[in-house]
Structure 1
Amino acid sequence: MFTSVAGRSVVVTGGSKGIGKGIARVFARAGANVLIVGRDESGLKAAAEELGATHVVADVSRADDCARIAETAAERYGGVDVLCANAGIFPDKRLADMTEADIDEVFGVNLKGTMLTVRACLPALEASGRGRVILTSSITGPFTGFPGWSHYGASKAGQLGFMRTAALELASKGITVNAVLPGNIMTEGLADLGEEYLRSMEAAIPMRRLGSVEDIGNACLFLATDEAAFITGHSLVVDGGQVLPESQEALDVV
């Protein structure tokens, strides 16, 4: 039995939908006080009501907004015990067509936003005495690639470079920094791509199913427990074995 996280203050950026909402739901069910962050106020409000959480409208690519996230968590819940830096965007754009603005947008949210959010929450995480930083990276970039996502993949690989040095710098303060790397996860809107597309995605996964947002949330919950206090600077791949086969043939013969 793991130590309960009930009553702890948990911030989840990008928490109004998709993986972020799944992470927030897992922590809320575990009794944590959850603050979800995003840019869409109506979506945030609806998600917060559904989850039993509170929300704050903020853009993680802006330092002032990140400071306000930490201040809001302190006002409502007394600080920050767990920061799930999950906010991310993944617009599709081939390299030949990519503009400087496209690159800046993705890096601004996915990488710069991660760094700014962590920096803003540092005092509260240190004061917690059991601070946890959990980044949502991806298998795309660190392990795999996909056409149209070179900027996204670079930002997700960059998060892991940040994680390792941040883990070194913050270890003496009792703060751990780790990452979860989702594979193909069933989120809102994915069903709109059609049954054939979903089946092709499942066929690439040895476990023959897409992951759920709760699969990612459960991984984050583990990294937030007292039992994970000696784990820092590491990445946990949650992909049903997707990165394992060297070819489609490897899947077809099992």
Structure 2
Amino acid sequence: MKPSNGKLVIKAQLATFIALTTFLSEPVSAITFVQDRNSLQSNDEIEWSSLGKVLNPFAPNPSDFLSNSFSAKSSNGLGINVEIPSAGEDITPPFIFQNNPGVQTNFAPGDFILFTGFSPTIIPTGNPNPLTIVFDKNVKAAGTQIAASGSANIDYEVFISAFDDQNSLLGTFSLPVISSGARDNSAVFLGIKNDTANIKSLVFQTSSPQRGFGINTVSIATVNEPYSGLSLLIIGGLGIAFKSYKFFNKTKLN
């Protein structure tokens, strides 16, 4: 028995609706390199002084050093894990310091810097190993300023890589930089932004051999829980189809 015209209309409506909702639910992914903090459009951040451990480089307290793997919270409570592989016994563990007079960096005065580690005996030798930030939940964008240690006119390159929750590489970007140590906020900003919230981790590193490096506040763009608008659209669409079906059957019986 061939379906009636009314049933054909309903089937066509359902097919169109399913196709539409499938299209709307398809994730769109477009990785973008961001070189300006404002362009990241962040709504959260990780301020390193929030860890409660700020080391004085000129009179270091051993208890103020961090472990090579530690956890922190963003301003809005997002959990993160930081991993900085050790560079050996002659290099200190990571630590946080404030950019005050007497410290040669390209960060702004007063910035709190997470530093990978340095050699107390062979300056400016430090920990060049990558710094990895893993977010408890996927984020849409994140970035920070970065600079290697050392005096003026040090040429090197800085890198940022983003990975998803399957540890698949989303993208890698780099910039050439020159260190001046002028405390002038000239440390370059490296950020990655995506159309969808699928950034699980970021990896920062430099091409400067045997030199430690630091990053300041990490800006983050998070998203709220998935919007229920699509669910409402699906429910509404199914309701319309169901009402059409009831109307058709009622008309047929009368």
TM-score (structure 2 length as normaliser): 0.30
Larger Rg: 2
Question: Comparing both chains, which one has the higher relative contact order based on Cα–Cα distances under 8 Å and sequence gaps of 6 or more?
Answer: 2
TM-score (norm: length of structure 1): 0.30
More strand per residue:
2
Higher helix fraction (1 or 2): 1
